[in-house]
């Protein structure tokens, strides 16, 4: 090879290096651009005279400066950060909504019970009673609006799922097309790498990692992409897609469906992790149900407890108290607490009702009922799973209608449903989910607030002992038969209304007889009892199954004497009686929930505390993940990013190299001229 050829080769290498360096500088601000470098090699030497003489160099290719490990790390950190970021952003909204002094529930609970306590001081005041009804309406509306707001957020999350699945499908198409284009370009370029297309594919993978965790496998020139538990999103130049369908277990919710290139679909919601899609699903399926169930349980507990307490009193019209709030098992509510799986054998012929039986035993968990066959004997049996801790309860099925009581509610299965069950049928039970939206005030008139108790007690003016009778306490209101002091001689003209006085006469200082005293000249003996002088002595045994137990309780204290009498009568003039109003107010501090361990305000406080803790943890995790992502990006940039100072130095170096190569050509020309002149 001649000296001119060596110089020309050097010019070409230097020119290519200058072009690549210029391209690096031009794309310095492009975050997806990978720095390029010129790969050169020395041309084969030639034997000439006493040794081998070099023939210069040649450009082998233009390569991207990338580190596959750092690229993969960015994808993983991107998926993790976006997962935590979307989760933290959503839970911060819920935390702010419930913990806020204006939008939260705390002030509404406090105002409602404060109004009861104030009106109890003057039970005859109708304006004070009206405030109670207004505050009750305010409480129910606040619960309605908070619950509705959470449901709205759930709907927005489902809209986001639809948008994100569309984005994934679009990106998958782009990656598949780039796989095809890269393969074509490599074929046309005899193995040369199309760096721009490779950068574009890498950027699409990063964008995809923002939405969902991905794994990639190199297959020749193509890059195969997988999501979930191995679903092939991109294989070569073929792409699959994601879509959403209505959930079979949660009305209104959307589930993620993977649609393969062959058109076969598969639900993969439970397999999705990472990215915005995973964070959205995690928040929707973990936080939203807990918040709705907690608000619903609180709503049910307040309504049921206040209704039961009001039912123990009498109103200004002399009638037993009715419901202050809508009955928790009213109308269609019990049926709406169950979702029939759309894949069941006969979903249209299956209906189950959930009736609240004991608010103190309610949890905030959802439940799943699986139809199983434990004993190979018809009818089929049931497996009831509490999803919060996966505790299972097995119940044998019965012929005809069946009622199963668990965790404060009854699962009521009609005979028609029993006859249309098949093995592996499934039902989803939400005992408290809708409690917040179901709550409403059910009282119209201020007179219907039952502030008085149905009974009044008094001691005979002729008593000689120091015995005292308590004002009395209502324990339950049941039907006429159960309330009767004697099965054959009912004392109630209607439930809770004492039609005849009850006389307690001490035969001795410690022994007494209880009479039905409708006829003072011929009272009927009901039962006898004894007391311990100087102590509080219950006249009726509230734990007794004896028909004499009538639903109220009085106590005798002090030291009565033989002949002393005490009477219990219907409270016919109880307009100024505030005993049940006080009891209504005291429900505020009574431990009603969690098996009698938590009151209403503490239950709400626990919800706020738990949300606050989870929000703080989400923020910390998000910030830590962001830091890791920035570190990974910095590591990638240190390898693949463009350093302008370095590129400026390269420009000078390659310019000098170009000038030197040009000088080689110039020397070769001069030598050639000298030879021509010598010959001439």
3-state SS assignment for residue 405: strand
Q: Residues 610, 646: one domain?
A: no
- For residues 14 and 148, membership in a common domain is answered with no
Residue that finishes a domain, picked among 403, 425, 447: 425
pLDDT at 480: 34
Residue 587 belongs to a domain: no
Q: Does 228 have pLDDT greater than 70?
A: yes
In eight-state DSSP terms, residue 42 is E
Could you tell me if 538 and 553 are in contact, meaning their C-beta atoms sit under 8 angstroms apart?
yes
Q: Indicate the burial class of 90 (C-beta count within 10 angstroms; 0-12, 13-18, 19 or more).
A: buried
What is the Cα–Cα distance from 25 to 17, expressed in whole angstroms? 12
Each residue's pLDDT tens digit, 361-402:
999 999 999 999 887 788 999 999 999 999 999 999 998 999
Residue 113 in this model has a pLDDT that exceeds 50: yes
High-pLDDT (> 70) share of the chain, %: 94
Does 273 reside within a domain?
A: yes
Domain boundary among 379, 404, 425: 425
Residue 59 lies in a domain: yes
CA 548 to chain centre: 49
pTM of the model: 0.88
* pLDDT tens figures, 285-328: 999 999 999 999 999 999 999 999 998 888 888 888 899 999 99
> Is 316 part of a structural domain of the chain?
no
Q: Is residue 387 part of a domain?
A: yes
Our count of domains for the chain comes to 4
* 106 shares a domain with 229: yes
270 and 229 both lie in a single domain: yes
Whether residue 579 lies inside any domain: the answer is: no
Cis bond before residue 379 (omega within 30° of 0) = yes
Same domain? For 475 and 362 the reply is no
Looking at the structure, do residues 35 and 53 belong to the same domain, yes or no?
Answer: yes
Residue in the structure block whose two tokens are 């928790």: 328
Whether the Cβ atoms of residue 584 and residue 135 lie closer than 8 Å to each other: no
Angle at 495 between CA 564 and CA 126, to 5 degrees: 90
The C-alpha angle 570, 574, 579, rounded to 5 degrees, equals: 95
- Same domain for 226 and 349, yes or no, is no
Final residue of a structural domain among 407, 425, 443: 425
Confidence category of residue 487, pLDDT binned at 50, 70, 90? very low
CB proximity list for 272: less than 8 A, separation 6 or greater: 212, 227, 228, 256, 278, 281
Predicted local distance difference test score (pLDDT) of residue 476: 65
Listed in sequence order, the DSSP H helices in 45-194 are 68-99, 106-120, 126-188
Tell whether the model's pLDDT for residue 542 goes beyond 70. no
Q: Which domain holds residue 197?
A: 70-288+599-630
Residues 145 and 277 in one domain: yes
Same domain, 234 and 86: yes
Average pLDDT over the chain reads 89
Q: Report percent pLDDT > 90 for the chain.
A: 69
- pLDDT at residue 477, rounded to an integer: 54
Say if residue 204 is in the same domain as residue 88. yes
Average pLDDT over residues 175-200: 89
Cβ within 8 Å of residue 355, ≥6 positions away:
329, 334, 409, 410, 412
Residue 35 lies in a domain: yes
Note the pLDDT of residue 563. 94
Provide the pLDDT confidence category of residue 669 given band limits of 50, 70 and 90: confident
Name beta bridge partners: 369.
Answer: 384, 427
- Over residues 129-155, the mean pLDDT reads 95
Q: Provide CB contacts within 8 A for 393, sequence distance 6+.
A: 383, 384, 385, 386, 406
Q: What is the DSSP letter of 157?
A: H
Task: Answer yes or no: do 145 and 174 share one domain.
Answer: yes
Q: Are residues 549 and 619 in the same domain?
A: no
Residue 593: inside a domain, yes or no? no
Q: Contact 15/44 with Cβ under 8 angstroms?
A: no
Task: Provide the pLDDT for residue 496.
Answer: 47
Beta-bridge mates of residue 340:
427
Q: pLDDT tens across 239-273, in order? A: 999 999 998 888 889 999 999 878 889 999 999 99
For 42, list phi and psi in degrees, rounded to 5.
-80, 135
- pLDDT of amino acid 604: 96
Taking every pair of C-alpha atoms in the chain, what is the biggest distance, in angstroms? 166
């Amino acid at each position: 090879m001649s000296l001119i050829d060596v110089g020309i080769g050097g010019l070409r290498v230097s020119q290519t290096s200058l072009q690549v360096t210029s391209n690096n500088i031009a794309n310095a601000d492009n975050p997806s651009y990978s720095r390029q470098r010129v790969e050169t090699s020395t041309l084969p030497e030639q034997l000439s005279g006493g040794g081998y003489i070099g023939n210069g160099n040649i450009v082998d290719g233009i390569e991207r400066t990338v580190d596959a490990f750092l690229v993969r790390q960015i994808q993983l950190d991107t998926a993790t950060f976006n997962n935590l970021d979307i989760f933290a952003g959503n839970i911060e909204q819920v935390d702010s909504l419930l913990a806020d002094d204006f939008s939260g529930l705390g002030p509404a609970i406090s105002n409602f019970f404060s109004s009861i306590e104030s009106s109890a001081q003057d039970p005859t005041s109708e304006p004070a009673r009206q405030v109670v009804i207004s505050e009750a309406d305010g409480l129910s509306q606040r619960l309605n609006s908070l619950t509705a707001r959470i449901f709205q957020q759930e709907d927005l999350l489902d809209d986001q799922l639809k948008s994100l699945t569309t984005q994934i499908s679009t990106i998958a198409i782009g990656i598949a097309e780039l796989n095809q284009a890269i393969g074509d370009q490599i074929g046309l370029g005899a193995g040369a790498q199309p760096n721009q297309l490779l950068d574009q594919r890498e950027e699409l993978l990063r964008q995809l990692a923002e939405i969902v965790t991905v794994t990639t496998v190199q297959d020749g020139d193509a890059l195969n992409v997988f999501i979930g538990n191995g679903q092939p999103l991109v294989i070569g130049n073929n792409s699959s897609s994601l879509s959403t369908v209505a959930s079979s277990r949660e009305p209104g919710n959307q589930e993620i469906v993977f649609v393969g290139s062959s058109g076969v679909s598969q639900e993969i919601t439970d397999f999705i992790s990472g990215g915005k899609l995973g964070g959205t699903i995690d928040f929707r399926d973990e936080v939203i149900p807990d918040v709705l169930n907690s608000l619903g349980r609180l709503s049910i507990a307040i309504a049921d407890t206040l209704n039961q307490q009001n039912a123990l009193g009498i109103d200004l019209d002399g009638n037993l108290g009715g419901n202050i709030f809508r009955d928790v098992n009213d109308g269609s509510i019990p049926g709406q607490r169950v979702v029939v799986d759309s894949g069941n054998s006969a979903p249209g012929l299956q209906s189950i009702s959930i009736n609240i039986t004991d608010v103190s035993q309610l949890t905030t968990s959802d439940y799943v009922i699986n139809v199983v066959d434990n004993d190979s004997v018809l009818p089929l049996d049931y497996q009831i799973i509490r999803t919060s801790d996966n505790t299972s309860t097995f119940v044998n099925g019965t012929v005809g209608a069946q009622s199963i009581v668990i965790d404060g509610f009854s699962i009521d299965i009609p005979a028609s449903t029993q006859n249309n069950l098949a093995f592996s049928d499934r039902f989803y039970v939400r005992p408290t989910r809708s409690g917040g939206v179901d709550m409403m005030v059910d009282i119209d008139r201020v007179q219907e607030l039952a502030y008085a108790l149905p009974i009044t007690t008094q001691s005979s003016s002729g008593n000689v002992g120091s015995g005292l009778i308590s004002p009395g306490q209502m324990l339950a209101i049941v039907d006429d038969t159960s309330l009767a002091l004697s099965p054959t001689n009912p004392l109630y003209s209607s439930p809770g209304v004492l039609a005849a006085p009850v006389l307690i006469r001490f035969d001795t200082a410690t022994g007494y007889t209880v009479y039905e005293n409708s006829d003072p000249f011929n009272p009927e003996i009901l039962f006898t009892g004894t007391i311990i002088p100087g102590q509080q002595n219950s006249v009726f045994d509230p734990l007794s199954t004896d028909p004499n137990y009538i639903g109220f309780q009085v106590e005798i204290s002090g030291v009565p004497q033989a002949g002393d009498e005490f009477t219990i009568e219907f409270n016919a003039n109880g307009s100024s009686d505030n005993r049940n109003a006080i009891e209504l107010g005291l429900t505020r501090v009574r431990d009603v929930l969690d098996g009698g361990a938590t009151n209403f305000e503490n239950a709400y406080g626990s919800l706020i505390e738990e949300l606050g803790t989870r929000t703080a943890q989400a923020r910390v995790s998000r910030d830590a993940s962001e830091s890791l992502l920035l570190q990974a990006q910095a590591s990638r940039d240190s390898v693949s990013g463009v350093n302008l100072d370095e590129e400026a130095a390269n420009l000078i170096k390659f310019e000098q190299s170009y000038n030197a190569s040009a000088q080689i050509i110039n020397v070769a020309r001069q030598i050639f001229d000298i030879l021509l002149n010598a010959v001439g």
